Amino acid sequence: MTIALAQSASGVGGFSASITQAYGSNVVSGSSLWIGCWYSDNVGAASCTDSLNAVAYNVVGAAIHDTVNNLYFEQFYLDASAAGANTVTISWSGNSPNDAAIVIAEIGGTSGFDTAPSNGGQIVTSPGTGTDAVSSGSGTPSVQPGFLIALGINAGGVTAPTPSAGTGFADNGSIWNGGGGDVARLETLRYTSLSARAATFTAPTGNGTLTYGALAAFFKETGAGGSTFLPRGPLPLPIMVSVCS
């Protein structure tokens, strides 16, 4: 099965110790789940759980901090999900952020997260408006084919236009309308080589001097590079064969 984005959903919030978002359709057994978020203020460590799987999500890299606007960008993942309806929750250990946003995605046809390109993303200040000038920083996948899911955020405020998807990436839509228009874009790319690559975005005209966040996560296609997929649950017993002489 070819790796692909199965579904995504997003929402905004704030002034609460947590933010939740439900998937529009039931999650398929064995899918990987990826979560991206941003939040304002220094509110303590974020954690991610959901209503379907009885484990906490893993963090992709570390939260990146936009010191200009005092915003944090972070992402999480969970492999080999159970099947069913699912609602994701991100919670903070300290105070409630004034602003927060979440995007959730289900990735099908995958054997799980690729830990090799562990950069996760970066803040880009004043990138200009050249094509693909906003970058997550490059990472080298361990196997191919694989899948890169990425989020580009214009941190200039609720009226800041959304960056465009990078060259070669599928545009999966603009998200996070905080009252003045969408400020982020979701993009994906299936790749078939082990070349180092980065998620890229293009800043909108007239907004090249603002600050941007770019998040990226890599996932392995089922069967890629000889990788194997073990679903949740007990393993089958071996078949014993007797030979009579």
The per-residue pLDDT for range 109-127, each reduced to its tens digit, is 999 999 999 778 999 999 9
- The whole domain housing 192 covers 4-226
**Does some domain include residue 238?**
no
Phi, psi of 48 (to 5 degrees): -130, 130
Tell me, what DSSP letter sits at residue 197?
B
**Does some domain include residue 235?**
no
- Kindly indicate the confidence band of residue 243, based on its pLDDT and cuts at 50, 70 and 90: very low
- % of the chain beyond a pLDDT of 90: 76
> Residue 189 carries which side chain, given as an amino acid letter?
L
- Is pLDDT above 70 for 55? yes
Q: Cα angle at 168 between 166 and 169, to 5 degrees? A: 60
Q: Look-up: residue for tokens 């984005």?
A: 5
Domains: count for the chain: 1
**Does some domain include residue 17?**
yes
How crowded is residue 96: how many other Cβ atoms within 10 Å of its Cβ? 17
Cα gap 173→75, rounded to integer Å: 18
- Give the pLDDT confidence of 188-231 residue by residue, as tens digits: 999 999 999 999 999 999 899 999 999 999 999 999 984 444 44
Say if residues 64 and 71 touch (Cβ distance below 8 Å): no
**Does some domain include residue 232?**
no
What is the number of helices (H) and of strands (E) in the chain? 0, 18
Residue 159: the pLDDT is 65
- Is pLDDT above 80 for 6? yes
Which pair of tokens denotes residue 181? 């228009």
Residue 226: the pLDDT is 41
